[in-house]
Structure 1
Amino acid sequence: MLDPSEQDPLNVTLTPPSVSRRDLLGAAATSALLPWASSVQAAPPAVELEGVELPETTTAYGQKLVLNGAGVRKRGYFKADVTALYLPEKRTTPDAIYKLNGIRRIQLNILREFTSSTITRIFLADFKQSATEEEFKRLIGPIGQIGAAYANVKRVSKGDVVNLDWVPGVGWMATHNGKSLTGDGGNTLSINDELAFQVYLRMYIGQNAPEDLRNGLLGLTRLPRAGD
C-alpha cells in the first residue's frame, strides 16, 4: 500500500519511483539509438570493387538509374578504372542496352593517374577498334569533339569520377568530378549523335571488349557487397 503522500490528487495510484526511473532510462536509451538506427536503414545499398563503392541507384538529369553491372578495366598489367554501367532498367545483352530508351551512363572511377594525351590516345584506339571503317569516317566530327574535351581535362587522378551520359534530346554529355567537360571554345560538351555514343558503349560491352569487363557490365558477374 502506497503512502497517501505518494498518491495524486485525482486518486490514481502512481507507479513506484523505482519502476518509473527504469522505464525512463529505457526510453532514453532507445531514443539515443534511434538516430543511429535510422542512419543505418537509410544508407543506400552498394557494391564494392577495388575499394570503390558503387550505389545500386543514382539520379542523372532528374532520372533514376539502376546499376546494371560493373567491372575493372585494365591497361596492360595496370588497373585503369572501375567502370560502372547505369541504366533506367537492367538489361543483360548488348543489343537490349543499345536499344534502351532513356539516359544511359558509363561511369569511370579512376584508379591511377593519366595525362590528357594518354586518355585521348586510349580513347581513339578503342573507338576505332569498336567502329566499322565507315562509322569511323562518318564520326570524325564527334571524335574530334571528344578529343578536345579530353585535352581540356589535362589529367585524371586516383579517386576521380568521370561520367559519360547519353541524354535523349540533348546528346552525349560528360562530367569530371561533377564539372561538365568542355570542347573547343569552352562550350559544354554536347554531341547529339546517338551512333557515336553507341560505338562508345561497344568499347565496354561489344564483342571486342575484354570478356571479364563485358560480363561485369552486363550483370552476368556477381559483385561483392560493400562491407562484406
Structure 2
Amino acid sequence: MKSFARSLILAAAVAAMPALAAVQVKSAKFEDNLQVAGQNLVLNGAGVRVKIIVDVYAAGLYLPSKVSSEGKALNTAGAKSMQIVLLRELTGEKFAEAMIDGFKANNSDADIAKFQPKLDQLRNLMLTFGTVKEGTVIHMTSVPGVGLRVSVNGQQKGSEISGDDFYKAMLKIWLGEKPVDSDLKSALLGGN
C-alpha cells in the first residue's frame, strides 16, 4: 500500500512539473520564449533549411503570439526574431549571398530598389562574420522603433539596420511566395 501511495505522489509530482522549455531540431535547441526589448516572444515554429540533400541550418521564428499564416506572421506588430543555428560550416559571404538571393526572389523590383542600401548594409555586416562554424547561433531580430539587430552567439554585430518595413521584407526569405525552403516555411508557421 505504501509503494502505491508513493507511486501516486510521484506521478502527481511529475504531472505538476512544467514541460521542457525547448524544442530540439537536429542538434539545435530553440527555447519556447525569447525576450526582446521587454516583450515576450513565443516560438511560432522551427525547422531545417535543406539545400539539395544537405542540412544547412535550423531556424526558429519568434513572434508575440502564435500564428499559422504567412500574412499574419509578416504583419504582426511588435518585436520578432529569427534564430538560425548553422548545421554546417559556412562563410559570411555565402550566407549573405543566399539571404540576398532569397530576398530578391520574394520582393518586388520596387521593394528591392527601395531596400538596396539596407541590403548592402546587411551584406557588409555578414561579410564581417568570416567563417561561421557549425553550431553558431545567429539572431536576426526586429526591435520596434530601432530596426534589424543581428547577433552572433549573443554578441551584436554592427549597428542596427533601421526600418520595421525592411524586416518584414526580409522575413519573406522564409515566408514569402518563393521561400528558400517550403518545408521550412511550413515548420516556421507551426506545421510539421
Structure possessing the higher radius of gyration over alpha carbons: 1
For structure 1, the 5+ residue unaligned runs are 1-36, 183-187, 222-228
Mean Cα displacement is larger for which, 40-49 or 199-208?
40-49
For structure 2, the 5+ residue unaligned runs are 1-12
- Partner residue of 2:64 out of 88, 103, 122: 88
TM-score relative to the length of structure 1 = 0.73
CA displacement, residues 126-173 of structure 1 (integer Å, 9 cap, x when unaligned): 111111111111111100100110011112111110000111111111
What count of residue pairs does the alignment treat as equivalent? Answer: 178
Contact 2:99/2:173, CA 8 A, preserved across alignment: no
TM-score relative to the length of structure 2 = 0.86
Residues 61 and 44 from structure 1, CA distance in 2 versus in 1: closer, same or farther, beyond 3 angstroms? farther
Q: Which amino acid aligns with 1:135?
A: D
CA distance in 2, matches of 1:77, 1:147: 26
- Partner residue of 1:206 out of 170, 176, 180: 176
- Partner residue of 2:54 out of 78, 90, 113: 78
Contact 1:120/1:147, CA 8 A, preserved across alignment: yes
Residues 102 and 44 from structure 1, CA distance in 2 versus in 1: closer, same or farther, beyond 3 angstroms? farther
Percent of paired sites with the same residue: 26
Contact 2:36/2:143, CA 8 A, preserved across alignment: no
Mean Cα displacement is larger for which, 53-62 or 158-167?
53-62
CA distance in 1, matches of 2:94, 2:138: 15
CA distance in 2, matches of 1:54, 1:216: 13
Q: Which amino acid aligns with 1:147?
A: R
Structure 1 residue ranges, 4+ long, deviating more than 4 angstroms after superposition: 40-44
- Partner residue of 1:98 out of 74, 79, 89: 74
SS of the equivalent of 1:91 reads: coil
Q: Which has the higher strand share?
A: 2
- Partner residue of 1:195 out of 142, 158, 165: 165
The answer for the alignment partner of 1:215 in structure 2 is: 186
